[in-house]
Amino acid sequence: MEQLRPTSKLDTMTKEERTALIGRLHKAQNGLCYVCQDVINLQVHKVDIDHIIALTNNGPDDESNWALTHESCNRSKGARELHLQRILFEFRRHVQKYTERNELSNERNFTLNEALLELCPSRVEVGASQKNGFIDLSWVENGQPKTERYALVVDTGKPVTTSFIGMIPFDCLHHNSDINPRSIVDLEPMIEEFYNGYPQLLPSLATININDSEGKARILIFDGQHKAAAQLYARRKRLFVRVFVNCDLERLKETNYRAHTKLAQVRFPQLINDKVGADLFKEEFERYIHKADLSKVSEDTFFSKQVPHVQRSEYRHYFGNYLRYDVLVGNVGTQQNMILEFTETVMPRSTRYPLSYDTLQKTMLDLMIYEKPAREMLDQTEHWRRIEKENLISLLNIFVEEVLAKGRFDLKLGVRRIEEKLTNDPQLIPDSHLRAYRICRKAAMMIWCKELKRAIQTMLSMKSRYKLAAWSEKRPLWAEFHEEDWEQIRKMCRAIRDHKIWGEKTSPDIVAAISSTRQKDWSDILLKGTLPGRKEPLLSPLDQNFMIQSATRQ
């Protein structure tokens, strides 16, 4: 591709000319890299000179359009021009600034609000007046008063809603974090899209409340904040918005939740669903505990006191998302959760990954996490929720290490038609791959995972690791594990992995039984050691007793 690049004067400079140019640019940029805005030390750093606006976008080929960067900052950009690269770095810096701020603060969130604070700090209220089916908005732009008129449209729902559609300057926009608290962190492709001039297809949504006595009002964006923020970063001046006028905010909030969950036409991949639900829960939950005395409130009182009755079942759903999401992305402690490397999180069925998201959720996550709101006060629960997450990540990682990782499960070989390939040629599928594949089949995993949970509960109970004996039943991971406990759990995982059943290649009866997708069959196979519908035991059971025995064997 290199030869397609238009030639630039930069390519034909002598070494001396280039050195002199580097010096001038370095001085003009106050010693900072054009892209990342960090210091360039000419004695230490390798540098590049490149075009701010690409020649192919009609950028001039002279010093006004040349900028100095760290070599790595320029090289990382691929075909992008420097101006866009600088914007993307700026975006990353902002995300970092707001999401890594002060561990103790609850307000680690990067939304449209923070983007507006950074890029458009002096925003204004607008003057607004409606009459005869029109609304007039007025504001000051570049020191000049400006008024624009929009036609109102009426939507005959219950209650009737009035709105208008228009291109509204970012200078007049604010973010409604009450209705839409979701973080925007994965914005780079969209920024690039708008930077390259693609149009906004659907409007963002906003509200305006016009109070007749004052005539001043704020336009608050509550949906489509990704496209809003992306265009802000792409340095567009206006946003395409539908603005609801004097609308019932609670009604709108409810409508918006429903649109994103129950009514969503395009179902979010489940992991994104968890993220969205987790964010929605977190926002409301943190608002609740922000001013509360943690010794007087609990997860349970949050549901009974804070969440409106009609939204309770929705919020119970978000609560599950919230508990799972931190574990999945490893957002707790220092451990990186490895399970997602072997989990299909986008498609319902995979040809590559041994675990589907659905299987993972219904086994390791839903069985191990206490998904009911706890009644103990939050000053205790917060600690145990954290322990629970850390413990679950440890457990998942041990499972990954013993069963899937280090080439045991071969992602290239995948999961497509494994049993069929096996029938054709038993040597085609390596033993460790076959075991990992079968262990992760949903019907089988539902059974052995329950047994693993019971084995862990029994083991920890015998060692009195639970603060309250009653926790062992519903809250298997609410315990301070010792190093030896993990070693024993590792032995359990090895025992599961090495059980004879997973490696069977030759006995046609057993191989046929293994391909069953019925939990009842798997319960026969693993708990009784019999083939489905038969009496005589063929194999040793893979139940909690077997796991505990394996764990305590030297």
CB closer to Zn ion out of 75 and 296: 75
> Residue 335 phi/psi, 5° resolution?
-80, 140
**Residue whose CB is less far from Zn ion, 188 or 382:** 188
Residues forming the site for Zn ion (CB under 5 A): 33, 35-36, 70, 73
Task: In angstroms, give the least distance from the CB of 9 to Zn ion.
Answer: 23
Which residue number places its CB atom closest to Zn ion?
33
Is the Cβ of residue 76 or residue 530 nearer to Zn ion in the bound state? Answer: 76
The helix (H) or strand (E) run that includes residue 165 is strand 161-169
CA 294 to chain centre: 28
75 or 417: CB nearest Zn ion: 75
Kindly tell me which of 75 and 474 has the beta carbon lying closer to Zn ion.
75
Q: Which residues pair with 243 in a beta bridge?
A: 164, 206
β-pair partners for 66: 51
Element (H, E) at 454: helix 442-462
Q: 224: how many CB neighbours lie within 10 A of its CB?
A: 20
Helix residue ranges per DSSP H, 329-400: 357-360, 366-368, 378-399
Q: Where are the beta strands (DSSP E) in 176-237?
A: 204-208, 216-217, 219-223
Provide the minimum distance between the beta carbon of 37 and Zn ion in the complex, in angstroms, as a whole number.
7
All residues at 6 or more sequence positions from 344 whose CB lies less than 8 Å from its CB, including other chains: 350, 352, 353, 355, 356, 357
Amino acid identity of residue 524, one-letter, is D
Least distance (Å) from Zn ion to the CB of residue 89? 8
Shortest gap between Cβ of 36 and Zn ion (angstroms)? 3
Q: Would you say 328 and 274 are in contact if contact means Cβ atoms under 8 Å apart?
A: yes
Q: What share of the chain is helix, strand, coil (3-state, %, to 5)?
A: 50, 15, 40
| CB nearer to Zn ion: pick between 32 and 405 | 32
Minimum distance from residue 10 beta carbon to Zn ion (Å): 18
Q: Which is nearer to Zn ion, 33 or 493 (CB)?
A: 33
| Whole-number Å distance between alpha carbons of 100 and 87 | 20
The CA distance from 409 to 278, in Å, is 31
Q: How far is the CB of 348 from Zn ion (least distance, A)?
A: 42
Shortest distance, CB of residue 38 to Zn ion, whole angstroms?
5
Q: How far is the CB of 33 from Zn ion (least distance, A)?
A: 3
Looking up tokens 């490397």 gives 341
For Zn ion, give the closer residue by CB, 48 or 451: 48
